[in-house]
Amino acid sequence: MPVIIYATRGATLALQNRLSLEIRTKGRMGMDGAAWPQVRGDLSSTRWGAAAFLNNLEAACTTISRTEWVIRWINIGDAHRLLGDTNIEKGYFDEAAEDWLCALTAFEVARRLAYEDASEIEDVPAKINAVIQKFGAVKQNIERVQIECCDQVEIAAHYLPADGRISSAPAIICISTEEETATTLLGRLLPVVIDRGMSVLVVAHEDVSNSRRGQSDVFLSCCVDYLLTRSDIDAAHIGVYGDGLSATLATDFAASDSRVAAAVCDGGLWNLARMLASVDWLARTADVRDEDMVSARRLQLLRRLRCPVLVVAGGRGIVSASEAMKLLRDGPAAPIDLQLAIPRMITTDAGEVENFVTSDDRIFGWLEHQLVLSSLSNHC
């Protein structure tokens, strides 16, 4: 049966006080003359704190401005980053890697809070890139690879191998939103994919998308071809995750390439919306719509998919929650495993903010269940 996944609530006002304490400066000064914010906790507690803060964001912004929270989360990220550097000097490699993952989580919170005002976070992308490089040099090698496609076109991508628990691991092709680089997406996903037994290939939306219909499918198939050349990949367990508008690219790719074993996508809803808009425009019948016809079209698009599917809906995504519920209603008529995830969205005076921590945990928990557990059972 399809399962609806909701993001959890449960933030408490005490979290604001905890965060305020964590960013108070110590008496000791850094080499640049700036006081170091106080840092506590490991990755799990940092991510818990970030999720709880985002859930309670509306209340948090009543006492402290959103801009001030952006600055504070950047400070928290800087503190974790510097602590990781200190632990490296002491030879504490695992601790340093965890500190850097905490830093990436904090920087992503700052990015989410900043919205469209890039001036608030103009130096954050460089910090994220620096932390990724440090993490890759110490914990798990992160390769910058070039994937050859048709017409001598190459796609630049980041490749993070699995942690080595098994000789050949599942892999996820992750496509960024249209607004983000592959590096930015990798920085957000590193803390959530680490230790899940999956390899990750991260590509940018602008490198994959193309005005010619079907071209993105060719590019993504080249990504699968590349993965299959690697001895550390389980060829039977390759998934795709499309973030934002890339969810429709993931749908088209999963429908066209039988090698895709699981897909986080839009379930065909974006193409359905465009098709209905064209029909309405041509027929001038926007006010009258045959719901049975729409349901049949929805099911027709869904039947193109031959692997388990997770549709992420609501908030700032391209799929509305109402349309996703209709898809879920029609899902039993299609021979696939269809599930729905609705991220927790927090409304502030400056707009909506998604709780990306709980959303990413659920998405990659679902991928782990679909791919890693199945892969491990095949190796037993």
The DSSP result for 199-221, as a single string, is EEEEE-HHHH--SSTTHHHHHHH
Ranges of beta strands (E only) in 31-152 are 35-37, 143-148
Pairwise CA distance, residues 243 & 251, whole Å: 11
pLDDT digit string, tens, across residues 362-372: 999 999 999 98
Give residue 172's pLDDT: 98
- The residues spanned by each domain of the chain are 11-137, 141-379
Which residues, listed in sequence order, are joined to residue 172 by a DSSP beta bridge? 200, 239
Pairwise CA distance, residues 92 & 377, whole Å: 35
Q: Which of 169-183, 297-311, 343-357 is the most confident on average?
A: 169-183
Give residue 256's pLDDT: 93
Proportion of the chain above pLDDT 70, given as a percent: 79
State the CB neighbour count (10 A cutoff) for residue 63. 10
Pairwise CA distance, residues 315 & 37, whole Å: 33
Give residue 155's pLDDT: 87
Pairwise CA distance, residues 354 & 83, whole Å: 28
The kind and range of the H/E element at 236 are strand 233-242
pTM: 0.86
Please give the average per-residue pLDDT across 236-249, as a whole number: 95
Q: Kindly report the CA angle at 56 between 50 and 60, in degrees rounded to 5?
A: 100
Please give the average per-residue pLDDT across 181-201, as a whole number: 96
The more confidently predicted of residues 334 and 37 is: 334
3-state secondary structure of 318: coil
Whose tokens are 């049975």? That residue is 292
Return the sign of the alpha-carbon dihedral for residues 319, 104, 361, 303. Answer: positive
Pairwise CA distance, residues 237 & 197, whole Å: 12
3-state secondary structure of 286: coil
Q: In this model, does residue 225 exceed pLDDT 90?
A: yes
Closest CA relative to residue 112, chosen from 54, 46, 39: 54
Phi-psi region of 10 (alpha: psi -120 to 50; beta: other; left: phi over 0): left
Closest CA relative to residue 188, chosen from 272, 247, 129: 129
Please give the average per-residue pLDDT across 155-166, as a whole number: 87
Ranges of beta strands (E only) in 34-76 are 35-37
Report the chain's terminal Cα–Cα distance, integer Å.
27
Pairwise CA distance, residues 199 & 141, whole Å: 11
Q: Which two tokens stand for residue 288?
A: 């009258």
Pairwise CA distance, residues 105 & 271, whole Å: 33
Pairwise CA distance, residues 306 & 304, whole Å: 6
The kind and range of the H/E element at 311 are strand 309-312
Confidence of residue 76 (pLDDT cuts 50, 70, 90): very high
Give residue 104's pLDDT: 97
* Lowest mean pLDDT across 41-45, 109-113, 249-253, 291-295: 291-295
CATH of domain 141-379: 3.40.50.1820
Q: Kindly report the CA angle at 363 between 360 and 367, in degrees rounded to 5?
A: 130
How is 351-371 classified by DSSP, letter by letter?
Answer: EEEE-HHHHHHHHHHHHIIII
Q: For the chain, what is the mean pLDDT?
A: 82
Q: In this model, does residue 158 exceed pLDDT 90?
A: yes
Q: Which two tokens stand for residue 227?
A: 């993965």
The more confidently predicted of residues 213 and 333 is: 333
Please give the average per-residue pLDDT across 27-51, as a whole number: 63
